[in-house]
Structure formats: C-alpha cells, structure tokens
Structure 1
Amino acid sequence: MALRLDYVAGVSPSKWLRAWGERRADLPLEAARVDEHEQLERLRSGEVDLAFVRLPVEADGLHLIPLWEELAVVALPKEHPFADEAELALADLDGEPAAPVQSDPAMTLELVAAGTGYAIVPHSIARLHQRRDVVAVPLADAPPTRIALVWRVERDDDDIQEFVGVVRGRTARSSRADETPELSPAKAAKKAAAERRAAEAARGGGKNAAKGKNTGKGASARSGTGRGASGRSASQRGRRKGR
C-alpha cells in the first residue's frame, strides 16, 4: 500500500517526499508528474490520492488548499527587441504575435524559440524548460498563477490529513489547531512590510530608526522617480518598435 501523489510541471515535491519518508516509513509516497490538462483526471478516477494542481480547477467534490503564487513571465526569442528588458507590461506586447499554446509547455517554448511569437508562462515553467535561445522577462502587471493541494472529499482520512500537515509545516507533535492560518496575499505583503520596518528599527535604534523612516520616505520619492523612468523606458520600447 502507498499514498499516491500527482504534481504539475513547475512543482518540486522533493522536500515533502523527504519529510514524509522520515515520518511515515510504513506508508510509501509515490509521486508522478502530469500535464495540466490531465491534472484532475487521475485524482477523480481514484488512481491517485492527492495532487498539486495549478489553479483554476473545477473543485466540486474536492478539498482544496491554495498554497503559493507563481510570478508570470513572457518568454521571447533571444533576438527579440525586448529580450534585454528587465521588466515588461502587458501593453508592451500589444501587436506582438503569440506562439500557439501546446499542452506540453516545453513544446510551447520550442515554438517561441522558432520565432512564432511570445508565450506568457509561470516563472517556474520557464525555469524548468530553460533554453539558451529563449529569455524570460517578468511581466509587471500580469496576474500570477497559483498552486494548490487537492484531494477528494470521500478520501479525507488520517493519512491524507497527515500529508496535508507536512505540506503546511505541521510537525509530528503538533495538531491541526496549531497551524498558522493562511494569510491572503495582501495581508501577507502588509505583514512582511511591517516585519521589515521592525527589523530596520531594531538594527538602527533611537535616532537611527527615525533616520531610517526619513530614508524610507526618500526611497518612496525616489521610487516615484523610478516609475517615471520606467514610463520613459516603455516609450523608448515603443519607439524601438516603430510605434
């Protein structure tokens, strides 16, 4: 008997496999990578017990825990005029041809390399299928994708819950009640910013902390200048394309 797990490209389950092996040597965990178009087929048919999927999915009859977000990037041929940009916006791609999307992301990037157009993919996919003739540029305003752990409602037993606990960072001695509730992206960002400010204040202390606040305001002003520069960069990109 074994616990069976599927995961889509871009997910690396090795740390959870190791943690499960250390905790439950009596119940092996078998993992297999599947294509996105079939990420729920084996789960719903009962061939596997859990799956790391890329949202959105039809969640009827499933338990679903959203996990982490993936940055969106645009894959471009290495010779493309935008290939050296540090960041792009969706508007920069207006008028650009898009490569035909394939069920296998590696084949989509193959078409990008062949010059058929660009492709917007999660950064994890671009990294997994990295090629010398394709570059991945972050998209500032593209919505991120998200990975989730799903399992069938009727398969919600102690073994499943123990694996869920491993993924969510529960130790063998802790309970589900000990978990830190998942924060929304906005709340997580606010919490991270507050923690950074507290750390800076602790390092500086007293007057230095106050200076740190002033520096923060200056940094905000400079950041505003940076956005203006970014706007000019976008205009320059437009001129390079003959707009």
Structure 2
Amino acid sequence: MTGSEDSPAFRLAYVPGVTPAKWVRIWQERLPAVPLSLLPVTAAEAAGVLRDGGADAGFLRLPADRTDLSAIPLYTETTVVVVPKDHVVTAADEVTAGDLADEIVLHPLDDTLVWEETLPGRPAKERPATTADAVELVAAGVGVLVVPQSLARLHHRRDLTYRPVSDAPQSRVALSWREDATTDLVEHFIGIVRGRTVNSTRGRPAPAQQQDERAGDKRGTRRAPAAGKQAGKPARKPTGKTAGKNPRGGSGGARGGKRGRPRRRS
C-alpha cells in the first residue's frame, strides 16, 4: 500500500493486451476515496516492477519470473497468426504451425510466447524490436506474425486480419503482487477481479471504509431498553383491580357470603 493510512492509494500495472477498465470502474464505485493509478509496462518488465515495489499489483503474462511474487492465473489466450486480408491463410477458419512452413514468421524481441522449438516457417533476417514494428512489416508484405489474440486486436489494421493457430504455444494472463505486500487494498482488488460482491466475507474493508464504519457505529449506537420496558414507554403498573387478587377468584380478604339483615333481640 502506498501513501498514509489517512490517504491511501493503489497502483496497478498492466501489460499490453490486457484491458483493466472493467475492474477499475468497480474499484472506483466501491472505493471512491482511494485513487487507483494505472501503470502500463512491457511484458518483460512487469514482474520486475512488482518485485521492486513500483506497483501494488499488476496483470502480467505467464510464464514469468515469479520469484517473491504471488500470482492468480485468470485466463489463457488464443494464439493467432496475423496476415494481410488477401493472404491464402484467410481461406481457413483455423490453421496449424505446419501451414506456415513456407512463410517468413516474424519474431519480435518482445515476443510473449515461449516456443519449445524454433518458430514455424522461415526466420526473417532481423528480429523486429517490438510487436508493433512486426505488425507494420506484415502490412508491408514482409512476413506473418504469431501472437496472442489480444495483441492482434490491440494493433488492429483494416488491411490485416488473423486466424487461430491450433498447435501454437499460448499465453496466460495472471494477477500478481509481492508475497510480502498482501495489503488490505490488494485483497480488495483480488476480490474485485474474482467477482466477489461488496459484502463478501472474504474481503477486508479498506482503511477509508474502516474509518467510516467506525464513525457510523458510534453515531448509530443506542442504549438497550431496560428490562421490563418498551422503547419509549414506561413499564406498566398493576391496576388496583388485580392487586392482591386471590387465585381462586375472590379478593385477598376473608371469604364471606351475602350480607343479610341483622337479627332482632327478643
């Protein structure tokens, strides 16, 4: 957590292709007093930024160096090949790596896919510096590019399209943070990403919420009514008609019949 307890803040890193807008919106609705700042980072530097304390949490791509980091895998992306719209590949709904054997397959230096063997197809003379540069080369007719689908969408061009590659390696996106910095705010963001409701028992209130809740408890605390009393009404006293009444239905005094006339003395 950054900032003081009175004015906390939250820094969220994210790699290209990840769109955190939905989670940021929920954060702003639930924690309006805690500003959230976004930090775009490259896939290669994401883990280092978290490890060095440059962000409280972040979305990164797996596999990655997770030394001293916790991570929750969220989803696995479809891998696609980016090609010109008039390319022969577009005739199929899905292709394999073998279908690219005769193509020049570009391999940018910031590639997020881990290939167990060499890339399919023929290598280019030089590796493009970035994925964005590789997309420009595809548009120029130099080769094709294999990337996670979100990156193909991020660098969309009208003259390009893409098709899934069924047997290519895939990229997983995970939410990650430092193991020794699992703060209340980090727990809150984890809950948001996992879809927990605002009243979930697994979430812990943020500092600003804790202060508001404590203040609300003080304002709303009332003394419980004394035993035998109703709220706002005095206890009822027994009436004179029932006081001392004999359980058999008579009064509390001696029993007597009807009172007759006095006898005359002779």
Q: Same fold by TM-score, threshold 0.5 exceeded?
A: yes
Q: Which residue of 1 is the match for residue 47 of structure 2?
A: 40
Q: Which residue of 1 is the match for residue 201 of structure 2?
A: 175
Q: Within 5 A, what are the aligned runs for 1:1-243? A: 1=3, 2-103=9-110, 104-176=130-202
CA contact (8 A) 1:90 1:141 kept: yes
Aligned counterparts of 2:107 and 2:80: Cα–Cα separation in 1: 16
Secondary structure of the structure 2 residue equivalent to 1:22: helix
Bigger Rg, structure 1 or 2: 2
CA contact (8 A) 1:76 1:112 kept: yes
User: 1:145 deviation in Å?
Assistant: 1.4
Corresponding letter in the other structure for 2:100: L
How large is the Cα RMSD of the aligned pairs? 1.6
**TM-score normalised to structure 2 length:** 0.63
User: 1:70 deviation in Å?
Assistant: 0.7
Corresponding letter in the other structure for 1:52: F
Deviations 1:58-117 (A, max 9, x none): 111011000011111001133322233221111111232112414332222112212221
CA contact (8 A) 1:98 1:116 kept: no
CA contact (8 A) 1:51 1:149 kept: yes
The structure 1 segments of at least 4 consecutive aligned residues displaced by more than 3 Å after TM superposition are: none
Aligned counterparts of 1:37 and 1:146: Cα–Cα separation in 2: 14
CA contact (8 A) 1:6 1:39 kept: yes
Q: Which residue of 2 is the match for residue 231 of structure 1?
A: none
Deviations 1:149-198 (A, max 9, x none): 00001111211111101100111211339xxxxxxxxxxxxxxxxxxxxx
Percent identical: 44
Aligned counterparts of 1:135 and 1:108: Cα–Cα separation in 2: 14
Deviations 1:12-40 (A, max 9, x none): 11111111111111211111222112112
CA contact (8 A) 1:52 1:147 kept: yes
Extract unaligned runs of 5+ from structure 2. Answer: 4-8, 111-129, 204-266
Secondary structure of the structure 2 residue equivalent to 1:162: helix
Secondary structure of the structure 2 residue equivalent to 1:26: coil
User: 1:135 deviation in Å?
Assistant: 1.6
Secondary structure of the structure 2 residue equivalent to 1:63: strand
**TM-score normalised to structure 1 length:** 0.69
Q: Which residue of 2 is the match for residue 202 of structure 1?
A: none
| The 10-residue stretch of structure 1 (88-97 or 59-68) with the greater mean CA deviation from structure 2 | 88-97
CA contact (8 A) 1:64 1:150 kept: yes
Aligned counterparts of 1:67 and 1:175: Cα–Cα separation in 2: 21
Extract unaligned runs of 5+ from structure 1. Answer: 178-243
CA contact (8 A) 2:59 2:174 kept: yes
Corresponding letter in the other structure for 1:60: T
Aligned counterparts of 2:67 and 2:47: Cα–Cα separation in 1: 11
Aligned counterparts of 2:145 and 2:202: Cα–Cα separation in 1: 40
More helix, by proportion: 1
